[in-house]
A and B are shown apart, each in its own frame.
Chain A
């Protein structure tokens, strides 16, 4: 007596919950691995999965057990040369001993480390955990995407594909009951009369009356039969209406300095920062547009590919990028509809008289229209005019303007986290 069951189609992720619990228990280790990975990886594979290393002692499940020492008896297989009474040196620690403490390893996978892989999805989740775009507002607007269809009951007119069969048949049933009810009652009555007549003595029967009754009955039956099973007036359709949906549309401007004063490693850091930003936006906000602006003495709007991977160089006029940004906002992204964000990376080196102009552009044109503007200066040296001008901007708009300095690649991720840390909600920005 046996059963053979095919279980292959049953869920296979029975361990998902346990895996999730394991991950959340070791959050700290995973976060560290993620942070390390971000600063060590090349730009192109920043978003793949990652190996996470956890020291074994942190996830041991302790039990009472014997430690080394005392007198141990062992029976082993494979004796080749030993005789009773032979003395053998102890094998070096770790081999065959089976004690808990081996040597720590600094490379690869050691005995005392537990290494496992997290997926890309999990990697990004840990990477952007607790981050958000600040001051994001939902703005009412009429765009095609922002409608959704919602159910709006049942109607008597509609598209055949939306026919509601149950409701239609109910309708048909009730119509038939309503239209035949009187006739059926009468039919019953006549039939009873007929039966009564037929039971009378054949001689006393009123034959003519029977014939008349039979005719009436036949007529009624025909009438009842004529009522159709389903009629067009029975048909009922599911109804949907389009409902406008408040949506948060956002645009991020990425402004990068590619001037000659930025050396290759500085450009690399800037790109890393923007890649992080780009991954973050792509992952957390479905409908966000990103505008890439690159500048030296003149600014140019480029696509993603050019922004991250092409090389170009020249002098520096920062205001050119800001002007272009302002112009694009005016042309394409009305602040009434869009949440506008800006992120700018530069080495702080600027044309002499240009920095005050930058401040003016920011405070008068860009910041009033924006939700948030972040400036990072990639510069291990002391600050120049642009930084000082921006400091005064920050004083005026502490909530909407943030600036940070990055000196080496290890700073990128912490600074990024700082800039986009989840904050307490505050009063809305009067644009």
Chain B
């Protein structure tokens, strides 16, 4: 390889000058980045496993929604078909990388990428995302990076066995039903037990039998001995409303077979594994983008890379963090990369070069050690609280954020607040709410089971801001729920403690009652 020697700084040669990558160069770049990280930033990372894959394999990885090993289901096929189509027609480029929250942290690099791109991806995924996965409190609490791959292998094999034993159709129907309730398969507040594949496998048989006996206990119809009749205070079941629908079904559905309970559990565990990713999009991408930007600039400062490399990198980078405004035809919500990167960069600025405004808004942070402050922010927040805590007036001005209120009782929408002194705090709160999953998803809980009667299940949807459910989808989900519960399912929508609407499955034949 020819290396251009620069008379001024020929004591350090750039790592590469061409756009083709090789395996040696990947290693070189990875080591250079590692060295810079060790010397200057000390991000705590899992070991990296960098896998080079082709575009077709990237599409496979795409359609299994980020699971490196996935069980088979038609919905992944649908996803694949649509990705395949838009890619082949050139409507869509593929992501440059996919990174898996596992230990070692697996990052997929596409072979079509240029050397610059590969370096960017290594910095982004293997240092940015990787350190985020390792240190953010949500990931620490909810996921076990060490065992996820094993668990997914266990899940795939288990579901395959079920298919062999009980038939494709049966398993598919069950998975359809579980997927419909997947977002309601997580505990929002309780700390879950981490999943461990070895443990799962060992205890799975045991659990099957135990679960069945528990269920039988609940539905026992043999009359109890006489003394129990005396304290016949009518206890509601469940005593408290349950938010984790899949968990409730797994433990209490009367007619599910043991293997079906296990499948419900698998879907629930996978939902739980992905839950932190859904809650930290802005932070996670912002953190990774900040670090690829910082690390690559550092490489440049040390003359490891050429000007051409930097120009190419900056072009990709600006593309990634582009935020079209709301009236732009390409507008598709707030770009998490843009917002995240802006906030992370801003955090560093507030620490190292605070303005008078920053000192007023962030008295503790202004002037503090930027690296420590940023690591603290990364470790201890999720999108919602991160925005609430760190969104500065400067970012709101830069993004020209404004708040819009759409109330169906008034004819027009109203602009609530804009980026001015009176608006900053409210704007920040509203934006923070926008990332609050429990406000964006309808609040639906299991309210009551008719234990002694027809075994029907009553769910309650508590409306927030009078926002109703989408009728057709709701009805379809209830059908799936009915498939799992196998007795009548009712859903009541409450607004200010009054039932305003009900859904039933099976639907009542005569809807004469206006309820």
Contacts and interface: CB of A to CB of B under 8 A. Distances in A.
Interface of A: 1-8, 10, 12-15, 17-25, 57, 59-80, 82-90, 96, 99-100, 114-117
What does DSSP make chain B's interface, helix, strand, loop or mixed? mixed
B200 to A, nearest CB: 23
Contacts of A76: 326, 334, 401-402, 404
A65 B60 CA distance: 28
B26 A4 contact: yes
Interface in B370-419: 399-408, 412-419
B324 to A, nearest CB: 7
Nearest to B469: A67
Contacts of A22: 74-75, 77-78, 80-81
A71 B47 contact: no
Contacts of B60: 12-15
Nearest to A17: B72
Contact of B327 (A62, A78, A87): A78
Contacts of B207: none
Nearest to B184: A64
B431 interface: yes
Interface stretch (B221-229, B272-280, B358-366, B471-479): B471-479
Contacts of A115: 85
B414 A67 contact: no
Given A71-B466, A71-B467, A84-B423, A8 B49 contact: no
B187 interface: no
A65 B77 contact: no
A71 B402 contact: no
A392 B418 CA distance: 88
Interface stretch (B175-183, B208-216, B309-317): B175-183
Contacts of B288: none
A155 B171 CA distance: 52
Contact of B469 (A12, A65, A82): A65
B399 A77 contact: yes
Interface string B412-445: 1111111110110001001101100000111010
B189 interface: no
Contact of B72 (A21, A67, A71, A85): A21
A100 B57 contact: no
Interface in B164-198: 168, 172, 176, 179-180, 182-184
A96 B455 CA distance: 42
B470 interface: yes
A77 B401 contact: yes
Nearest to B84: A116
Given A2-B126, A64-B473, A83 B399 contact: no
Given A5-B50, A64-B477, A65-B470, A82 B34 contact: no
A188 to B, nearest CB: 57
Contact of B81 (A19, A24, A64): A19
Interface in B271-291: none
Given A2-B47, A19-B81, A61-B75, A72 B400 contact: no
B138 to A, nearest CB: 22
Contacts of B182: 63
A15 B325 contact: no
B27 interface: yes
B463 interface: yes
A78 B400 contact: yes
A399 to B, nearest CB: 36
Interface string B74-95: 1111101110110000000000
A117 to B, nearest CB: 6
B473 A71 contact: no
B51 interface: yes
21 contacts: A3-B49, A4-B51, A6-B52, A12-B60, A15-B59, A15-B76, A19-B77, A19-B80, A61-B176, A62-B476, A64-B183, A64-B444, A64-B461, A64-B474, A71-B407, A73-B433, A75-B427, A78-B399, A80-B325, A84-B416, A90-B412
Contacts of A7: 51-53, 57, 108
A18 B405 CA distance: 42
Nearest to A9: B54
Contacts of B467: 66-67, 69-72
A77 B334 contact: yes
B48 A2 contact: yes
B444 to A, nearest CB: 6
B51 A61 contact: no
Contacts of A89: 412-413
